[in-house]
Every structure is written in structure tokens, then in C-alpha cells.
Structure 1
Amino acid sequence: MSQKRRTFLKSLGLTGIGLTLAPNFLQAQPAIPARGQNLSTVTLSGKVHANGKGIPGVAVTDGYNVVLTDASGRYELLSNATADFVYIAIPRGYEFNNEKSITRFYQKIVPQRARFKADFELKRLAQDDTKHNFVVWADPQIISKEDAEQLKRESAQDLKQLLNSYPQNTLFHGIGCGDLVWDKFELFEDYQEALAISGIPFFQVIGNHDMNLDARTDEGSTEKFKELFGPTYYSFNRGEVHYVVLDDVFFIGTAKKYIGYLTERQLAWLEQDLATVRPGTTVVVSLHIPAYTRQHERNNEKEPSIGGVVSNRKELYRLLQPYKAHIMSGHTHFNEKIFEGENIIEHVHGTVCGAWWTGPICYDGTPSGYGVYEVNGSELQWYYKSTGLPKEHQLRVYPVGTMASKPEHVAVNVWNWDPSWKVEWLEDGKRMGEMTRETGLDPLSVELHEGASKPSKHKWVEPQATDHLFFAKPSAGVRTFAVQVTDRFGQVYRDELQLEKLESAVR
């Protein structure tokens, strides 16, 4: 053995142990394998502060683990090279940093020498946020410049008018509940312009039409969304409410095919995130594909589509059990309320685009629109806002003869109905009782959508059965028929028609 080689081995501490080294061992070894993921560790650190003063107890995460800032607002988190972002759960009492309504609560990890420093500067709200409101925009789903202009001209302007109808300085934020575009990534800019018209900060949920369809795995399908909006799952706080956003669209590697599924990585993260939240707190979880709907029952199918509900929802329910939970979802283009036990309500939203921008309604008769939620402490109240119509527009009445299956009955669609609502009818001012709820097709949806030739824009749209239709048969000789609807919060909505006129203004 040469003296040079002996000296080298001695420096490695390998002399005298009888090892014979292959020649390539003595060559420089790459720190990162030529193929496969880099799994090296990265130390994240920084400070969360307002005007230089540290904020204690703020949750910081890399999407794997969650740590809290110390008394001086500092954190340190051992991460790895597969993590994309370091981000915070914005605490109550602080503004939502945003760029033209797109919230920014994260930093892209760019490590140097296995370390990355990320400070987060927050600004205190000028008011108490115990009372605040939010809106849920499900499925803007624009596929063309025409759709995009309609989104800006009608939906965004409607939201702006709604915001202006509230007292000045009312706190509002928005949640874009997935399918922000319809596979056309160049239209994300138009979507962002629509949000900017509203002037409020929006948080984004990834939908099945917001994914890279040429990706080889689910992980790769989120690249464009992350580039524009940051993490696909995260949390934040406002007032007494803890908000969570999840990615439940699992891409299976073939274009336009996916299932509703929450990965183990997300569930493990959610478990840590919720560990920072006091039991009994109100938690609002937003995701795109509903945790559950009963549409398969209305369609006389044995089980729901694996792309229409979350397959492993029971674990989500288990994690939410200690809290008062509301789940916000979209995807379906119909409106429905789902109750899981005593403390979980899912709000399946009608869509901003209605039936894919073909007209004024979704295919269950729900008007194109969005959900509005008013928060007071830990309590939520809500209503559905129809685009271009007053907030009092909460039902549509169809006169006798409109429905071929029930030609002697008045029908009414109450799209935001749940079992705590009351739907009554009055004849010539006399209260007659509650109307009968049945499953059926909304008559306006039949008129606009049924058949291979319509709607002309997307001929595949068809009416879908809904269970928020109500019926009553008027008595002989009655001249006026009124429908009075009382929601779960005591708000009363009313519509009336003259029975001698079989036609009615249908909106």
C-alpha cells in the first residue's frame, strides 16, 4: 500500500480494520442521488412578529410537522428537502396579508447549507374580529375568456355590492372552494382579477380542474396551484374560529381521473394542527370534493361515486369530533346540507358558474351564486346569495300545472333548506300547514337543460334530482296561494301567486 493511500485511509479512521475499498469509493461521492428524491434534512427557523415584537404561540409548519413560536415569537423546525413551503396559521387579531386579494401566509423554501430562515411580519387589525363574515365561492370554473368576463362582470360585481350593503369596516374574507378554472391555467389570471374586484382577501382550495393533468402522480398534479397560491392544505384563525383548508382531490395519474381522498400526510398534519386548538372550538374545514352527499340515493344508485365523496371521510369526522365543525365543499353543482352526528354540518354549495355558465341556475334549480356566513363568536349564521338577485331570494314557486308528474300541485324549490327549516303554504291568507317534501326535478332546470339539444353551450348538462322540492295542492276556489319559508335562524321569506293565472314569473 502506498504511503499516500495509507495516509488517506488513516484520515478516514479506516486503517487497521482490514477493509478493502473499491476504487470508486475513493472518488467524490454525490450529496444527492442522481435519481430519486432528495431526503436530506433542512432546518427552518425565523420569527413571527408585528412591528418587530415577537408573537408567541403561532403555529408554524412545513406541511409535515407543526411547532409553536416561543415567548419571543421565534421558531425552529427540522424539515426535509421534500417540503415546499414554511407557513403559519395566522392568529386571531391580525390582518390577512394579501396581494390583490390572494392571501400570502407562506414562503417558498430555498435552503442554503441545509438551512432556511423565514420571518413573518403581521399587522394587527384595527378592530376586534370576534364578529366577522366570510363567503364561499365554489366552482367559478371558467374555460374561456367569455366565461372569465362574465365572472368579473356579474359574480365579482355582485359580491362587491353585497359587501357594500354591510356596515363600513365589516370584516370579510373569501374562500375559493376549488375548480377555480376549468383546466385552462392561462385563465388563473382572470380569476385573480375577479377576486381583486371584491377587495377582500381570499384563501384558495384546489379542485380537480386546477391540477396538472400530465403529472405522473398526485404530488406532481399540484405544481401550478402551488406556484400561484402556495400550500394546498393549511390553517388560519379569525376571531374564535379556526379555519382549515384541505386537498381532497387525489389524482391517479390519468388525465381527468381522480378520487376523493385525504392522504396520510394531510391527516397526520391535521391531527397536529388541531392539537393546538381547544376542544369545543368552532372549526371550519374547506375542501373541494364533498366529504359526503346523498345524490346517489336520489339517483337510485347503491353507493356514491369515488370521485364524488371522500372515501376515508370517517377519519376526518373522527378528528373533528371534539369541535363544532362546519365543512365547506363544492364540486357537485347542486346545493345540499349534510349532518354528521350532532356537531358536524357540511355545506355542499351551489356554484358560482351554475351549470357551467349555461344560464342562471345549477342543474338542481339552485341559482348561480355563493354562500355567505356571518360569524359572532363561535356561532355561524348563513344564507345563499343568488347572483344578481336580492339576498331575500331564497325560494322559487311554480304554479299549478308546471310539473307534469304533479299537475294539480304548486311546487317550490327551497335550495338552502335543511331539516330545521319550515316550509308552509297559505290560501287567501289562511295558514294551511307545512308543504310536503319530495325528490324530483326542478321545473326550470327541465326547461333549460333537459334533452340532447340543450343547453346549446354544453349539451351534456341535464337536470339532476333534488330533495329540496316541496308540494301542496290548492283547495278549490282559492284565489291566492302564498309560500312562507322560515329558516333555522328565524328569517322569514315569502312568495305569492294568483291561482287564476297559471303562469308565474320564473326566475
Structure 2
Amino acid sequence: MRLILCLAAALLAAASTSHARDRAVTGVVYLETDGRPGRGAGDPALPGVQVSDGRRIVRSGADGRYRLEAVPDGRIVFAIKPDGYRFAARADGLPDFWFTAGTGRDFALLRDRPARHDAEVLVFADTQVKNAADIGYYRRDIVEPLAGRHRARFGITLGDVVNDDPTLYPALNAATAQLGVPWFHVPGNHDLDAGAAGDEDSLATWRRVFGPDTFAVEEGGARFVLLDDVIHLGDMRYVGGLREDQFAFLEAYLAGVPKEARLVIGLHIPLFDAGGRETFRRADRERLFALLRPFADVLVLSGHSHTQRHHFHDADDGWHGAKPLHEYNVGAVCGAFWSGVKDAEGMPDATMSDGTPNGHATLRLPREGGYALAWHPARLPPGDPAFTAAMALHAPKVLRRGAYPAYGVYANVFMGMDDTRVEYRIDDGAWQPMRRVERPDPRVLAENVRDDEADALRGYDRSPEAAPSAHLWRGALPTDLAPGEHRIEVRAFDRWHGEQRASAVYRLQEAAP
């Protein structure tokens, strides 16, 4: 009998503890109109706004009130921004859309200004600052040229916000806040807590600063679902994938999204496998693809690679939608980790291993549907027609007249795809097709040679070792023309922005054996 009573007491204690940890979370979603913190007498309720604990979703009622049952203490609760609204800013400049469960809380939304143009989103990947100097590069190279000069409604950073040093979050966020728009973040593998034993506790610091690691935002007629896709395996090992609670959230959220809606998935590790190995768990990818398959207009944005490419998922990847699934693997803000020779203003070159200059992307959402993407290099060499916002050319300066035409001009078209039309001509002659080649960009190879031959370091870190580029084209240069200088023109036809051009020159010289 005594044993039975002890067991009963233990069960009651456990139930009491569980009850203390899991409780209902309630609050009101309202429209902020008086400009003062907290709900004022004239601030109306907002019905139908979605609120989530990262697994389940409820909607606010006619009185603006929401209720989530049995939420564990410490779990993040957040609101999903409806189109046409925005969140107020927290003290650190980030959107005030989440809190840590333990008590209930109200959510304030502000009516957003009507858009005069197509909705636009700033897309950053891998800011990856490692110290205060890198934050300075980020501010001068990316933020200051953009501040007050963009049309974006909000911005996203697709992971690796810092390089293994979470103490840099406040200073980095202060720089990003200068862009003047709400900013949302996805965690990357370099945002994990050092010493975390496993995936469950690997984002403790992240959640204290940025809140949820998986959530949704609605803007410009599109639904953005932002996902932590880094599965921490311990000892700084990781693999791409998703947790069960994330699948629960996806199922709950997508159930309420019209099948014809534009859907944007943002994550850090690409969904395609890299280097011939499983870099994203195939079983998780298949589950995600099954959830996305019913939707007609899906775009995936990823980071992580510090290169840039477009991948179109098909049946070989496990995608069985009506058309291939477009994944844009966005180049890094930090480029090649803020490496390379510094310019006259002290800014490192930062060109990526595939020849893409560091910079940022934009996503435009036309009112009539679809989307348009663009890459914006952070800096361009002044007065160099061979290096434009769309492409960079490499050609030999001089060739022997009459030599076998074994040398070519290379065009690195930063947003190029497998089917991008790229052509060249010499001296206003006929346009000829260039051939896409998967090889290192000669510009990066030349920089590697300069680093190798230098007797001292040319920068804090040397430029990255050149890697095969997914967007490089080649055309053979004729050597049977007259001696002297000849003009090379290259044109590429961008899917969204039409014809883009760059030019260079080479010289033919007579030579005797």
C-alpha cells in the first residue's frame, strides 16, 4: 500500500510540474493607431491574424483575442504578419513579432503604407562577420550604399549572420537597422552555440535575440516561409534537414494558403546536394517537396555556398510538381568571407570562388504575379566596361596574328542559368553564340597566381581558390584579323531584365619565329 501511495504521489507531482510548464497563452492582436506602447482605448482589434507556437496555428477572433493551449514555458510564440501590415520595431530595431512563453502578450500591428511600386524584398545571405572590422565592411560596403535608396518592404538574411560569434549580433543588427525596413533572419550553421550537445539546444542564443527559427511573413501577395534547416549533430557537425515540429508548422500553415498563391521558401543550406554527397537529408527533402507540390508558384531561396547558381529541381531530385522547382542559391554578402586585396578605401575584394562579386539580391513581386530576381554587386571597378553589374569578362591582352585560335574570351554572367543566351562579336561583326563551360573563372585563377607569387600577404586573407563556375561562357577569339586592337562585345539575355552588355579589347601583334 505504501508503494502504491508513493507512486500516486509521484504521478501527482509530475502532473503538477507538467501543468506548471505547459499553460495556455492568450493575448490580443490589435491595430496600433495612437503611436504609444500598449493598446490604447482607440486601438481596434484585428481578427483573423495567425499566431503560432512553432507547431500549431490559431487565429485571433472577432475581438482580436487568441489562445494557444498547453504551451511549454520557454517556447517562442509569434504572430504571422498579414499582407498590408507591419510590426513595430523592438528596441534593437528588429520586428516585434514574438515573445517567450510564460505569460500571455498582445501583438501590435501597424497599417503599412500603400505600395507605389511592385513589392520588393532585399535578400542577403551569409553576412558572416567575425569581428568589428567585418561589421565595418558590411556597413560601408552594403548598408550605406543602400540606405535610403531602395524600395524594399522588408529584408531577409539567409543564415550565417555571424561567423561563430553571437556576441556580434547587437552591433550587426544596429548596422542593418540603418536600412530602415523590418528585417527577418534565418539561422545558419555558423549561428549555432559553441558547445551545444545536439540540435535541441544549439540555437539558445539565437532565440534570445531573433526569436523563432521557423516562421512565416506575408507581403506583396506572397507567403514567405523562413526555415532553420541546419540539423546540429554535435562536435560542430551538421547536415541540412528539418525537425518534426517544423513539419507540423508547415502542414498547419500551408493548409490555409491558396494553391495559386506565390510561395517563397527561405533557408540556409541548399535543398540540392553538393559535392556528390547528401548535404540535405533526402527523406526530409521528399517530405518538404510533397507539401509544396500542390502549389503552382514556388521559389526557394538559399545561401551557405558562397557561390551563386540557379537549380531547377525535377524528378531526379524527388520533385514531382507541374513544373521544375526553382531554387536560387544566393551569393554571399561577405563574398569569400571578406577576403582578398583591399582597394584604395580599405575594402577587401571579397570575390567568391566562382567569380561572383560580393553583394546582395533583390526579389521583386509584380502585381500581376510571378517574381523577378536580380544580383547587385557591392562595388564595380570605375570606368571598366568589362566589369558591369551583370557580368565580368576576361580576355588576353595580346595574341599573335595568325596563331591557332585556341584562346578565348570568358563571360561570367552572375545570374546566368543553363539556358541563358550569351553571344559575342568582334568589331561590330555578326553575333555568335558563346558556349557555357564549367570551369574556374580565369579572373579568379589569375588572382590565385598573384597571391602565390607574392613574397608577403596581399591582404588579411588571400582570395579563395578558384572553383568551377555554374555561369561561365567562352568564345574563341579570331586571330586572322588585321594587326592592332579589336573590340569584343558580349551580350547576355537575362530572364527578367533583358539584354545586358559588357565589352573588352584585345590586340593582334605580328611576330616572327
TM-score band w.r.t. shorter chain: 0.7 to 0.9
Deviation per residue, 1:371-429 (Å, 9 max, x gap): 111111332111100002399511001113799xx951111111211245321112221
Structure 1 residue 400 corresponds to structure 2 residue 387 = no
Would the alpha carbon gap of residues 490 and 80 (structure 1) be closer, same or farther in structure 2, given more than 3 Å must change? closer
Moved more, 201-210 or 385-394: 385-394
Partner of 1:319: 291
CA distance in 2, matches of 1:130, 1:197: 22
Partner of 2:104: 117
Partner of 2:431: 432
1:218 maps to which of 196, 199, 218: 199
Partner of 2:80: 89
CA distance in 1, matches of 2:180, 2:67: 35
1:340 maps to which of 283, 296, 313: 313
Which one-letter code corresponds to 1:94 in the other structure?
Answer: Y
- Alpha-carbon shift at residue 496 of structure 1 (Å): 1.3
1:362 maps to which of 341, 349, 352: 352
CA distance in 2, matches of 1:402, 1:413: 20
Structure 1 residue 67 corresponds to structure 2 residue 54 = no
Would the alpha carbon gap of residues 364 and 106 (structure 1) be closer, same or farther in structure 2, given more than 3 Å must change? same
CA distance in 2, matches of 1:210, 1:279: 34
Partner of 2:28: 47
Partner of 1:494: 501
Contact in 2 for aligned 1:41/1:80 (Cα 8 Å): yes
Structure 1 residue 286 corresponds to structure 2 residue 250 = no
Would the alpha carbon gap of residues 422 and 27 (structure 1) be closer, same or farther in structure 2, given more than 3 Å must change? closer
Structure 1 residue 422 corresponds to structure 2 residue 421 = yes
Aligned length: 461
Partner of 1:173: 154
1:105 maps to which of 86, 97, 120: 97
CA distance in 1, matches of 2:68, 2:11: 28
CA distance in 2, matches of 1:72, 1:465: 58
Partner of 2:187: 206
Unaligned runs of 5+ in 1: 1-18, 111-115, 297-302, 503-507
CA distance in 2, matches of 1:343, 1:271: 22
Contact in 2 for aligned 1:129/1:238 (Cα 8 Å): no
Partner of 2:126: 139
Contact in 2 for aligned 1:39/1:80 (Cα 8 Å): no
Partner of 1:220: helix, strand, or coil?
coil
Give the 5 Å matches for 1:248-327.
248-254=229-235, 256-292=236-272, 295-296=274-275, 303-306=276-279, 312-323=284-295, 324-327=297-300
Contact in 1 for aligned 2:22/2:73 (Cα 8 Å): no
CA distance in 2, matches of 1:27, 1:418: 67
- Alpha-carbon shift at residue 268 of structure 1 (Å): 1.7
Would the alpha carbon gap of residues 83 and 189 (structure 1) be closer, same or farther in structure 2, given more than 3 Å must change? closer
- Alpha-carbon shift at residue 470 of structure 1 (Å): 0.5
Contact in 2 for aligned 1:132/1:375 (Cα 8 Å): yes
Structure 1 residue 480 corresponds to structure 2 residue 487 = yes
- Alpha-carbon shift at residue 499 of structure 1 (Å): 2.2
Contact in 1 for aligned 2:124/2:157 (Cα 8 Å): yes
Which one-letter code corresponds to 1:486 in the other structure?
Answer: F
- Sequence identity (%): 27
CA distance in 2, matches of 1:67, 1:263: 21
Partner of 2:264: helix, strand, or coil?
strand
CA distance in 1, matches of 2:116, 2:193: 37
Which one-letter code corresponds to 1:145 in the other structure?
Answer: A
CA distance in 1, matches of 2:411, 2:206: 40
Which one-letter code corresponds to 1:181 in the other structure?
Answer: V
Which one-letter code corresponds to 1:445 in the other structure?
Answer: V
Which one-letter code corresponds to 1:321 in the other structure?
Answer: R
Partner of 1:9: none
CA distance in 1, matches of 2:448, 2:365: 37
Structure 1 residue 371 corresponds to structure 2 residue 365 = no
CA distance in 2, matches of 1:444, 1:272: 48
CA distance in 2, matches of 1:273, 1:83: 22
2:166 maps to which of 163, 176, 185: 185
Moved more, 475-484 or 76-85: 76-85
Structure 1 residue 385 corresponds to structure 2 residue 376 = yes
- Alpha-carbon shift at residue 331 of structure 1 (Å): 0.5
Moved more, 265-274 or 373-382: 373-382
CA distance in 2, matches of 1:442, 1:26: 72
TM-score (norm 1): 0.83
Deviation per residue, 1:108-133 (Å, 9 max, x gap): 111xxxxx322111111121488311
Unaligned runs of 5+ in 2: 33-42, 315-322, 341-348, 382-386, 400-404
Partner of 2:36: none
CA distance in 2, matches of 1:385, 1:460: 20
Moved more, 446-455 or 145-154: 446-455
Partner of 1:441: 440
Which one-letter code corresponds to 2:101 in the other structure?
Answer: I
CA distance in 2, matches of 1:20, 1:311: 50
Which one-letter code corresponds to 1:240 in the other structure?
Answer: G
Contact in 2 for aligned 1:363/1:449 (Cα 8 Å): no
Contact in 2 for aligned 1:38/1:81 (Cα 8 Å): no
Deviation per residue, 1:312-340 (Å, 9 max, x gap): 22222221122211111111000000112
